Amino acid sequence: MKIVAADDQPQRSRRYALLLAARDSEYVLKVYGGYFNVFVSAFGGGGGEDGDVCETWDMFRAVDGELPDLDDVQRYDGFVISGSPYDAYADDLWILRLCLLVREAVSARKRVLGICFGHQVVCRALGGRVGKARRGGWDIGIREVVIAATLPPWRFLDALRDLPQCAKITECHQDEVWEAPLGADVLASSDKTGVEMFCVGDHVLGIQGHPEYTGDILLSLVDRLCTGQAITVSFAEDVKRQLKATSPDMEFWLNLCKSFLRAEELY
């Protein structure tokens, strides 16, 4: 199934595929109409300076086995892979098929952006290693990550002015990248996670955190995890207190993701 966010056929157009690795929660469905709308609102780029660029976003529910055919990879400018409650290192058929699609997209030099689970599954697909967090347990809340002192000269990084030394991002995971793929550059790390962000060339980007999450989405998720006894009540309360005291550098992260997906439009 595909859900298309734009119908016009302008002079110039970009087409992206959102590969959803999670099912819509009741809260996100009720408030936002589903994760598709959350991602397009966060990463959608609009119509360009002259209004003659249109973006089309197609949604594939990867978690339910819906993926673009390998023959359709060339139709897209980029792919975004969402977070998921599943393990990126598991051998479920849909995860193995997703890894195959990632390799095909990377081989075709399409832009591939992985978020949380997506970050991990891209790493796995390209030969890196992922698993349970080595420093133990969940990482939920706002985490400050340290941007690498030396960054590769890729266009999507050049597009950002005054890169901060540190940036806060929303996190919700208990798995992580153990070892980035061969040839990857680690772009950020934290005291909890060694690989918070990596890139492979200028067309693959993985981010462990959730640039797209709003505070209310995280709070709803924390409540669900607590109700399901995945985390304790005291842990959940600590996260809620932190969210009242601080917030992520959302504008920075969204600009980074948009710059990555549209780097060719910047020159």
Token pair in block for residue 88: 């990126």
Query: What positions carry a catalytic annotation?
Result: 116, 210, 212
The CA distance from 192 to 187, in Å, is 15
38 HSE (CA, 13 A, CB side):
25
Which pLDDT score is estimated for 228?
A: 95
- Mean pLDDT, contiguous 10-residue spans, the chain (267 residues): 50 89 97 97 69 85 96 96 97 98 97 98 98 91 94 83 86 97 96 96 97 97 96 96 96 94 69
The CA distance from 172 to 185, in Å, is 23
Which pLDDT score is estimated for 52?
A: 62
Give the pTM.
0.92
Which pLDDT score is estimated for 155?
A: 83
Which pLDDT score is estimated for 267?
A: 43
What domains, with CATH codes, occur in the chain? 13-262 (3.40.50.880)
The CA distance from 232 to 228, in Å, is 9
Which pLDDT score is estimated for 164?
A: 81
Which pLDDT score is estimated for 51?
A: 53
Residues whose CB is less than 8 angstroms from the CB of residue 49 and which lie 6 or more positions away in sequence, other chains included: none
